Amino acid sequence: MDSTSSRKKTETTKGTGYKDTPQQQRLDRKQERAEAAQSQAITETVARSDTETIHLEVFRYDPDVESKREPRFDEFHVPYERGMTVLDALIYARDEFDSSLTFRHSCRMAVCGSDGFFINGRQRLGCQTQISDLDVPVRVEPLPHQPVIKDLVVDMDHFYERMEAVEPYFQPDDLSDDDLKEQRQSRKNREKIKMASRCIQCGCCTSSCNPSQTDEEYIGPAAIVKGYRFYFDEREGKDVKDQRLPLLDKEHGVWQCHTQFSCTTVCPKDIPITEEIQELKRESIKRNLKF
């Protein structure tokens, strides 16, 4: 607080008899701190708005517009805020600069798996990736090795067909007539399949997998992890379990994995994908052994 403000405060309190009391002094100091904090906040806001922006380079492609059929990168300078994610920056660029910018997103909590992008040379979730963790400029591209529909949106049909090939749903031998009776599972079994059950089908692992790009019939790491989750679930029916392993134990299944760990490296849910694929290989060998 400057001297003019101090004089005004003194004149205002003059004659009240409370100017020099401890209570009034505490109130004065509190007011001074509040005014100083407000001034600092205004200064930081002005500085941020003037200088602190994020440089985005975003892949653009639109087959329906003649002038946009040739792939290119558009640049955006987005105001930075603490805690901003790549998805936040893309949403700002779309809403404030170019409404035609197209990408998928939904929950913004790393649960839906819809915003898988190729960010600074690596498969990541846009909503999970902090701008502060990245080098600039931040380059955002669609997931590699997938047909691009428009901008950052890729065709996921083949990916979902691979997932469906392993019958990724719970199939017990029989269900109780009592609708309220639970399908119980032990703690130990839950721990075994816990990581595999975290898969959100974002496609990052399959996009990073070299065999997935060279073998159209390979079901891919995401589908194998989903098969692992149900195969090792103790509640799965015995007959179904015996049928499920052959879906995975084949040339274009677990045996196509080259053990490169690229899928494990990029998985946004930290699933040990490569290790689980190797465990399924061992399980297949044990089942095929005959004495």
* CA angle in degrees (0–180, nearest 5) for 228-232-238: 120
Structure tokens at 67: 């002038």
What confidence score (pLDDT) does residue 99 get?
95
Nearest to 74 by CA among 91, 51, 97: 97
Specify the pLDDT at position 41.
60
What is residue 51's predicted lDDT score, i.e. its pLDDT? 56
Element (H or E) spanning 172, and its range? none
Beta carbons of 112 and 200 less than 8 angstroms apart? yes
Cis ω on the peptide bond leading into residue 221 (within 30° of 0)? no
In the CATH scheme, what is the homologous superfamily, with its name and number, of domain 157-173+184-288? Alpha-helical ferredoxin (1.10.1060.10)
- Please give the pLDDT value at position 15: 44
The strand pair at 53-60 and 72-79 is best described as antiparallel
Spans of all domains in the chain: 51-154, 157-173+184-288
**What is the per-residue pLDDT across 108-130, written as a single tens digit (0 to 9) for each?**
999 999 999 999 999 999 999 99
Residues pairing with 54 in the sheet: 78
Say whether the peptide bond before residue 137 is cis (omega within 30 degrees of 0): yes
Q: Which helix (H) or strand (E) holds 8?
A: helix 3-13
Residues of the chain with pLDDT under 50: 1-18, 46
Task: Give domain 51-154's CATH number out of 1.10.150.20, 3.10.20.30, 1.10.10.10, 3.40.390.30.
Answer: 3.10.20.30
Q: Tens digit of pLDDT for each residue in 81-113?
A: 999 999 999 999 999 999 999 999 999 999 999
Indicate if 157-173+184-288 has the same CATH topology as 51-154.
no
Please tell me the pTM assigned to this model: 0.78
pLDDT of residue 193: 96
What confidence score (pLDDT) does residue 5 get? 47
* pLDDT, tens digit (0-9, with 9 covering 90-100), for 6-16: 444 444 444 44
Per the rule left: phi > 0, alpha: psi between -120 and 50, beta: everything else, 179 is: alpha
Contact indicator for 288, 248 with CB cutoff of 8 Å: no
